[in-house]
Amino acid sequence: MTHIHRHPVHCILPPHMLEAIKMRGDAKQRRMAERIEKEADAARKARAAAAPERAHLGTPAFAGPAPALPNREVYNGGYKRELPGRLVRKEGDPPSRSKLVNTVYDLTGKVFEFYLKEFKRNSIDGQGMTIISTVHHRRKYSNAFWNGRQMVFGDGDGVLFKSFVDLSIIGHELTHGVVQFSGGLTYQDQSGALNESLADVFGVMIVQYAKKQTAAEASWLVGEELFTPEVEGDALRSLRAPGLAYDDDILGKDPQPYHMSFYVSSCTDYGGVHINSGIPNHAFYLLAQYLGGYSWEKAGQIWYQAMQSLRNPKATFADWADMTVQTAWQLFGAGSFEMAMTRRAWKLVGIPV
């Protein structure tokens, strides 16, 4: 395990999409993709030089009667590389003149509320951690990322991508933080794909929570608002139909598998973490459909509690599937419908438990 793997920067745009843009985009788009790759590289190095990840704090102790309150800070990056930038709105401040700043403030508040109300988790680390966001990061920057301490959003190039401020993306990035503070999942191969998958699963659940949509009503898309009308595609990823989120002249075709038979062994993207995440993503989608109602009421509870109990940063898909079935047993009882459906969901994506 190299040093770099322990200190990933969690970008929302998968490397395979940047490769496609470099291959098929015009000169300007190619330069953009190259710039983003360089930026991700620089951020990764900066993160590697920063303090190591905090140790696992166990299941968050929050259970007390005092209401936990969010503590948000939104910064304006001023189109520069430096982070976090200039503080423009902190907790309790009146709205800023910038609509984008207010949107980030409101959406991060929604993510905080979701974790608190539905999982009794007080912020990202379970201990009331300040939620820090920077908007207007660099010029026309087409990415968003969690760097271990904060979220960072680009405005997009305006040609392929709109602003990266989107609830599913915010939920995704903050959940990388939740995973990090729940014992972590090494960002390589299957454990890395699980890390990506948990970020997607909670990202779409937060959207469903905000829109009060049942599992049957929801779109199950990550980054539904991200593409400009120029792009042929619905979103970055689909949990309902991995592999069918987009099919575009420049971005190429969504490469995600939905079944273990199509697992991709890759030397890039930490072993295809943004690709193979399609498999556990689809298992969660299936379970939520089987159980019906709101995804966070049962399926989400199983996934969240399994994340808290896992304590295995190198978990494989099979380890994780096992833990979710065990958790369904603990939450709903042996021989319960929920436990049987959890097992069935994994079986249908090629992971028998």
The site that binds Zn ion (CB under 5 A) totals a number of residues, namely: 3
Cβ 291 vs Cβ 299: under 8 Å: yes
Sketch the per residue contact string, 86 through 125, with Zn ion: x for CB under 5 A, - otherwise: ----------------------------------------
**Would you count residue 10 as binding Zn ion (CB under 5 A)?**
yes
Longest dimension (CA), the chain: 59
| Candidate segments 4-12, 29-37, 225-233, 341-349, binder of Zn ion by CB under 5 A | 4-12
259 in active site: no
Q: Count H helices, E strands: the chain?
A: 11, 10
* 165 DSSP assignment: -
Q: Report whether 308 contacts 222 (CB < 8 A).
A: no
Our CB check for Zn ion shows the closer of 273 and 325 to be 273
Residue 44 contacts Zn ion per CB under 5 A = no
Q: Which of 175, 151, 190 is nearest to 270 (CA)?
A: 190
**Which single residue brings its beta carbon nearest to Zn ion?**
10
Residue of 7, 10, 172, 274 marked active site = 274
Question: What Å distances lie between residue 86 and 79, 83, 134, 144, 150, CA to CA?
Answer: 11, 9, 9, 18, 14
d(CA 230, CA 159): 7
| Shortest distance in whole angstroms from residue 353 CB to Zn ion | 25
Q: Which is nearer to Zn ion, 197 or 342 (CB)?
A: 197
Instruction: State which residue, 123 or 195, has the beta carbon closest to Zn ion.
Output: 195
Instruction: Verify whether residue 39 is a known catalytic residue.
Output: no
Minimum Å gap between C-beta 200 and Zn ion is 7
Burial of 78 (C-beta count, 10 Å sphere; 0-12/13-18/19+): middle
Alpha-carbon distance 211 to 173, whole Å? 19
**Binding test (CB under 5 A) with Zn ion, winner from 9, 111, 124, 199:** 199
CB of 12 to Zn ion, least distance (A): 6
- Comparing CB distances to Zn ion, the nearer of 9 and 328 is 9
| 9 is a site residue for Zn ion (CB under 5 A) | no
Check 173, 196, 224, 338 and give the catalytic one. Answer: 173
CB 142 within 8 A of CB 157: yes
For the bound state, the minimum distance from the C-beta of residue 199 to Zn ion, rounded and expressed in Å, comes to 5
Nearer to Zn ion, 176 or 240 (CB): 176
* Cα distances (angstroms) measured from residue 271 to each of 16, 182, 190, 284: 12, 22, 8, 21
Find the shortest distance in angstroms from Cβ 11 to Zn ion.
Answer: 7
Residue 286 contacts residue 349 (beta carbons within 8 Å): yes
Rounded least distance, CB 10 to Zn ion, Å:
4
Helix (H) / strand (E) element for 285: namely: helix 278-291
What type of residue is 239?
L
Pick between residue 147 and residue 289 the one whose CB is nearest to Zn ion.
Answer: 147
Region from 54-62, 72-80, 195-203, 341-349 binding Zn ion, contact rule CB under 5 A: 195-203
Footprint on this chain of Zn ion (rule: CB under 5 A): 10, 196, 199
The residues annotated with a catalytic role in the active site are: 173, 274
